[in-house]
Amino acid sequence: MADPMRIRANVVGDSTEVKVLMNHEMETGQRKDAQGKTVPAWFIQSVTATYNGKTVLSAQWGPAVAKNPFLSFKFKGGAKGEKVQITWTDNRGDKRTDEATIS
């Protein structure tokens, strides 16, 4: 199981600003190891953020997103104490969901 994400969600005016730091190698599939063998690609392919059961952001990524990906976005609404969930799925089918309380 992959390491947890760090999620911060703050109320800014009438919106909620979400910042996410994920733990993932994001291996491109371009690199070669010491033996000259290509290191297989391993990266997050899709990310979904939900608030109150509604999707507030979804993304598809390629391997060129940086290692330990950072993501920030903002959506209308959200109140202190409510929760935001983030889920990612990588190309090996690994999945991880974490949630944060809006503050």
Of 3, 23, 40, 72, the one binding another protein (CB under 8 A) is: 72
19-44 per-residue burial string, b: 16 or more CB within 10 A, e: under 16: ebebebebbbeeeeeeeeeeeebbbb
Please say whether the beta carbons of 98 and 4 come within 8 A: yes
Of 4, 23, 40, 67, the one binding another protein (CB under 8 A) is: 67
Which one, of 69, 62, 21, lies nearest residue 41 by Cα? 62
**Residue (55 or 101) nearer to another protein, CB:** 55
Of 77, 82, 83, 98, the one binding another protein (CB under 8 A) is: 77
Of 31, 40, 94, 101, the one binding another protein (CB under 8 A) is: 31
Torsion of CA 10, 75, 21, 46, to 10 degrees: 160
**Residue (11 or 59) nearer to another protein, CB:** 59
Residues that bind another protein (CB under 8 A): 15, 26, 28, 30-32, 45-46, 48, 54-67, 69-77, 89, 91, 93
